[in-house]
Every structure is written in structure tokens, then in C-alpha cells.
Amino acid sequence: MPSVAQALKPAATEPDTPASAAEIVALPIKKPSLAERYGPMLRDLSSRIVPPVIVLALVLLVWEMLCSQAGARLPPPSKVVKDTWDFIIDPFYDNGGIDKGAFWHIAKSLSRVAIGFTLAAIVGIALGVLIGQSTWAMRGLDPIFQVLRTIPPLAWLPLSLAGFRDAQPSAIFVIFITSIWPVIINTSVGVRNIPQDYRNVAAVIRLSWYEFFWKITLPATVPYIFTGLRIGVGLSWLAIVAAEMLIGGVGIGFFIWDAWNSSRISDIIVALVYIGLVGFLLDRLIAALGHVVSHGTSVS
Amino acid sequence: MGAKAYLTFEQVGMSFRRGTLATEVLRDVDLKIDEGEYVSIIGHSGCGKSTLLNIVGGLLKSTTGEVFLEGQVVDAPGPDRAIVFQNHSLLPWLTVYGNVRIAVDKVFGRSKSASERHDWVMHKLDLVQMAQHKDKRPHEISGGMKQRVGIARALAMQPKVLLMDEPFGALDALTRAHLQDSVMDIHAKLGNTVMMITHDVDEAVLLSDRIVMMTNGPSATIGDVLAVGLPRPRRRLELATDAEYTRCRAAVMEFLYARHKLPSRAA
């Protein structure tokens, strides 16, 4: 095509030449415009964001209408925001004692969850692997676990207070005992479900027990482990708020209890929103971590 | 058949026992395979051909008789009898490269340096035309490509016998033909001893030096062995009208569908 060759030449050497037939031929080589590249992405994003925003607006509207009438017992959203504006815009204030900003309460609760949940993850994965690999251990431990896992988190609190004689380790123990069961159970299911194909491959290349554990068992079980961890982190966040109401001190759980005792209903509502958002982020965090660790084979 | 066979089956029998009920799957299988020979095992489903392959692979222990490879009794799995599995059996968390590398590291960890092992892996991936996809993960490549990687992994162990368990069974016809050609090329280049399980008559005739035909189970055994007298290299287009090809094909069909028709069940 001589016309194309001729057309391309001036376009390449003199890109600023005025519009001509030549430039029309050269156009497809150019990168797509910003709108072309980001248009579909934006449309996709907006199709995800617009529906929840509309629904949220409707919910707030109905709430506002219901609670604006005289004699309403709960504050409407406008009053919640007005009451708690100082609390919302400055999450980092610290007036000593338990009079701290939202950030410090949430950070304290999260640190308890972090310690208890990390312990639960380590012990849970270890026990899960043991139960998954040993039929004897499974038969011995599984019935006990099935009973223990149904005990509500707070039922453990008095016992752990009696054992530790201190609020902090008791709260962490409640987190631990709450979140360990799904980790154990999912890990053991994952180990038991390692496909025979992988075992055959390992047998042909003669992996040792140790190599099999690191190169087959753990990676094959990762999606199951992270399913357990996601359930576990959700449960531990449920448990910490309840436990903190009882043990007191700094923490988002006791903040709610304290607000109730001082009739600061708006503070309670803001704290609930924060708890929900943090719980959601924790879940997403573990899911994203699982996605990365399992190289995309685990669902996020 | 030479006097000193490479791979020998002697009176191999296999029964599975469940409680008091024993099912005899294989009985009195006698076979000698020479070095460099390409042998297919064909038979109706349920005739124990996969069981036979798993016995050679060491994944199952025969209840009677023995399998010898170079005079040594086969009693455990090992890289000298690498298996290409029907469902590819790639590890999903490893890349194409990683799946071959894990086997190479294990088999040649002592005898080759790290860079030699890398070159070895790349050479095998090149052989199956997968070198440019080495960083993809199994879920990112097609079924045919997965099976290529499975073949590369098996070849990378430098096995004495390459065992293939219906390697193309799960593939569409075009991909299968393409892969069969690749396997023929590789067999011509490397001269491996190959034992392949198949249920495809054309595949068996096209690829094999000999076709071992199994009778129906239970208590299946070798019904007949057919030598395929076609010169190599073989080209599938020319074979379509070749007299020897037609004769072999007819012989296998005759065995499978007239003499050992699957009783009552639909095949």
C-alpha cells in the first residue's frame, strides 16, 4: 500500500502538519484517548457505586423522617451528626483516662484482636494440619472441638478472668478461643481434601514428608485456611466489642457502654458505624491477603 | 522383541479387596517392552489398563507377579517412571516453570547446579513449545497447554519409561491431533520408552510400535498384541489411505468391537 507508506512518512517526521488524508491513516497507531481508556473503567466503577449510594440515601431519608417527629426516642441522622461533630472530625484527641478520640478506642480494640487472632491463627493452623493428617487425632479431638466451638464467646470471659486475674489477657483469650475453631476446622478439611493427583505427583518425584508439607500441604490448603481466617476475624471482632463492654477501659466496646450510661445515644450510633466499617475492612484485608498468598486461586 | 527386555511384566495380577469381597481386576499379565519402544495399551473402560499403568508407576502394588525395569523389581513410585496424568495434575499455585522446576530440583538437586537445572527446565519447556508461557499459572492456560506442561514435567525427570495415562483423553480433537504430533516429534528426538494408555484406536495406531489389546474385566488380561509396521516418521495425512494403517486399525476395531465387545453395557 504505497499510499499508506507515503501518508505515514510526513506524519512521523512532522507531527504538527495540518489535518490531511495522511493523518487519518496514521490515527489508529496513536494511543486511545483518555476517555477511551478510562471510560469503561469509570462506567464500571459508577455502576458499582451508584446503587449503594442511592440505597444509603433512601435509608437515611426514612430514618430522618421517622425520628424527626416529636417524642422520637432515637435521634435522626442530622442530630447524630450535629451531636457528634467534634467526635467525628477529631478522632485523635486524648484528654486522659478513657476520654479519647475514636481512633484510640478502635486502635486499642484492634490491638487486642491482632494479638488474640494471631495466636488463634498460629495454633489453629497447627492443630488443623494435625487433625487433617492424623485420623487418630481427628477422631480424638474433633468431638471435643465440635462441642467447644458452640460456646458463646462471652461465656468464656468469667473463666478467663478467674484464670488470668487481669482484664487485658482475658479479653485476648476470649478473642483467641472465639476465632480458633473455624481456623482449625477449615484447615483440617483443606488438608484432608488435598487431591490424590498432588499426592501422586509428590510420590513420583519422591518428595520427603518435610518437603511434602511445605511444597504441597501448605499451598494446597491455603484457600481453606484463609476461609477459616476470614470467618475467625469476623467472629473475633464480634467478640471483642462484647468483651470490652464487660472489662472496661479504653476500647470501642466500652466506649459504647460508657455512652449508654451517659445517655449519649448519638455517640453510640457513630461507634456502631465505625465498628461495622472496621469489621468490613478486616474481612477485606484477610480476603486480599489470601488472594495474594494463594496466587489468585482463592476467591476474594 | 529382544532377548533382554527393558520393561518386563511377569504374571502380574491385581485384586482389590473390600471387606470379604475381592474383585480381581488383572490376571496373568505378561509383557516385554524393549528400550525405545512406544507401546499403547488399549481396551474398554474398566479393563484395568489404568491399574496396570499405576502398577508400573509404583502407585499400586500388584497382588501377584512382578514388574521389572532393567532387571530391578518395581515396588515404589520414582522419577525413572515418570507419569503424564490424564488430568495433567499441575500444582495450581506454581507457574508453568515452577511445575517443571519442582520435579527437576528434586530429581537433579544433587547432580546439576542451579543454572544447569534452569537450562534443563527451559529446554524441556521449549520441547513442548511452552517456553514463552513459562510464567503463567495453570488456570491461565488451555487444557492442551496444561497437558504439554505435564509432558514437559515428565520428560524433565529423564525417565527410563514415560508412562502416559490417557494423556489426550480430556482434549478436543484438534488439540489432540496437534499434541499427538508433538509427542511423535519428541519420541523421534529423544527415543524414550513409552507406555501409553488410550481408548482411541486411531491414536494407538498412529503413535505405537505395538498395540497391546486388553480383554474385558473383571480378571482382564492381554488378549492380543499387534505390531504396527508403519515406518517413521509418520504423517497423519498420508496414513489415512495407507494399507498397513487401515489393516492395523481394522484389526484393533475387530478385537474391540467384535471379539471383546463390552457385554450389555454401552461403551
B79, B83, B94 member nearest A206 (Cβ): B79
In the sheet with B64-69, reading across from the earlier edge strand, the strands are B21-33, B7-18, B64-69, B72-73
B93 to chain A, closest Cα gap in Å: 6
Rounded distance between C-alpha atoms, residue A137 and residue B88, angstroms: 33
State the complex-level ipTM. Answer: 0.86
Which regions in chain B score pLDDT beneath 70?
Answer: 1-4, 262-267
pLDDT-based confidence at A1, cuts 50/70/90?
Answer: very low
Taking residues A65-88, report their average pLDDT. Answer: 88
Which residues does chain A have within 8 Å of residue B77's beta carbon, measured at their own beta carbons?
200, 203-204, 206
φ and ψ at B25, to 5 degrees?
-90, -45
Q: How many CA atoms lie within 13 A of B103 on its CB side?
A: 37
Q: Tell me whether residue A53 is exposed, middle or buried, using C-beta atoms within 10 angstroms of its C-beta: 0 to 12, 13 to 18, 19 or more.
A: exposed
| Residue A109: per-residue pLDDT | 93
Q: Tell me whether residue A76 is exposed, middle or buried, using C-beta atoms within 10 angstroms of its C-beta: 0 to 12, 13 to 18, 19 or more.
A: middle
- B58 and A294 within 8 Å at the Cβ level: the answer is no
State the cell numbers at B208: 505405537
Question: Could you tell me the pTM of the whole model?
Answer: 0.77
Which residues does chain A have within 8 Å of residue B89's beta carbon, measured at their own beta carbons?
195, 197-198, 200-201
Angle value at C-alpha B86, between B206 and B132, nearest 5 degrees = 85
| B105: amino acid identity, one letter | D
Determine the straight-line distance between the first and last CA of chain A, rounded to whole angstroms.
50
| Residue A5: per-residue pLDDT | 45
| Residue A296: per-residue pLDDT | 65
φ and ψ at B164, to 5 degrees?
-125, 120
* The pLDDT of residue A102 is above 60: yes
| Residue A98: per-residue pLDDT | 79
Taking residues A189-199, report their average pLDDT. Answer: 92
Q: What is the number of CB-based contacts under 8 A between chain A and chain B? A: 57
Question: Which is nearest to B154 in space by CA: B88, B46, B82?
Answer: B82
- A201 and B89 within 8 Å at the Cβ level: the answer is yes
* The pLDDT of residue A12 is above 70: no
For B44-79, write each residue's pLDDT tens digit: 887 888 899 999 999 999 999 999 999 899 989 999
- A200 and B107 within 8 Å at the Cβ level: the answer is no
| Residue B203: per-residue pLDDT | 92
Rounded distance between C-alpha atoms, residue B57 and residue A200, angstroms: 10
- B89 and A219 within 8 Å at the Cβ level: the answer is no
Which residues does chain A have within 8 Å of residue B82's beta carbon, measured at their own beta carbons?
204
B81, B85, B93 member nearest A297 (Cβ): B93
Question: Which is nearest to A237 in space by CA: A278, A297, A286?
Answer: A278
A194 contact partners, CB below 8 Å, separation of at least 6: A216, A217, A220, A221
Rounded distance between C-alpha atoms, residue B209 and residue B228, angstroms: 5
B78, B87, B94 member nearest A197 (Cβ): B87
- HEC letters along A189-233: HHHHCCCHHHHHHHHHCCCCHHHHHHHHHHHHHHHHHHHHHHHHH
- Give all strands (DSSP E) within A84-138, no chain letters: none
State the cell numbers at B198: 488410550
A188 to chain B, closest Cα gap in Å: 19
Rounded distance between C-alpha atoms, residue B48 and residue B58, angstroms: 15
| Residue B238: per-residue pLDDT | 87
Q: Which of A194, A197, A201, A204 to mutate to test the interface with B (most CBs of B within 10 A)?
A: A204
| Residue B171: per-residue pLDDT | 85
In the sheet with B38-42, reading across from the earlier edge strand, the strands are B83-84, B161-165, B193-198, B38-42, B210-214, B222-227
Cβ A10 vs Cβ A22: under 8 Å: yes
Question: Which is nearest to B52 in space by CA: B93, B101, B6, B9?
Answer: B9
For A26-75, write each residue's pLDDT tens digit: 555 566 677 777 888 888 888 888 999 999 999 999 999 999 888 888 89
B80 contact partners, CB below 8 Å, separation of at least 6: B69, B157, B159, B160, B161
- A295 and B93 within 8 Å at the Cβ level: the answer is yes
Question: Which is nearest to A254 in space by CA: A159, A119, A78, A112?
Answer: A112
Cβ B57 vs Cβ A206: under 8 Å: no
| A169: amino acid identity, one letter | P
State the cell numbers at A217: 500441604
For A170-186, write each residue's pLDDT tens digit: 999 999 999 999 999 99
How many CB atoms are closer than 10 A to CB B174? 9
| Residue B194: per-residue pLDDT | 94
pLDDT-based confidence at A4, cuts 50/70/90?
Answer: very low
DSSP letter assigned to residue A101: -
Angle value at C-alpha A27, between A23 and A29, nearest 5 degrees = 130
* The pLDDT of residue A77 is above 80: yes
For A124-156, write each residue's pLDDT tens digit: 999 999 999 888 988 999 899 999 999 998 899
DSSP letter assigned to residue A153: G
Average pLDDT, chain A: 86
- Burial track A236-270 (b if 16+ CB lie within 10 A, e otherwise): bbebbbbbbbbbeebbbbbbbbbbeeeebebbbbb
| Residue A28: per-residue pLDDT | 57
- HEC letters along chain B: CCCCCCEEEEEEEEEEEECCEEEEEEEEEEEEECCCCEEEEECCCCCCHHHHHHHHHCCCCCCEEEEEECCEECCCCCHHHCEECCCCCCCCCCCHHHHHHHHHHHHHCCCCCHHHHHHHHHHHHHHCCCHHHCCCCHHHCCHHHHHHHHHHHHHHCCCCEEEEECCCCCCCHHHHHHHHHHHHHHHHHHCCEEEEEECCHHHHHHHCCEEEEECCCCCECEEEEEECCCCCCCCHHHHCCCHHHHHHHHHHHHHHHHHCCCCCCCC
For A236-278, write each residue's pLDDT tens digit: 999 988 899 888 888 999 999 999 999 899 999 999 999 999 9
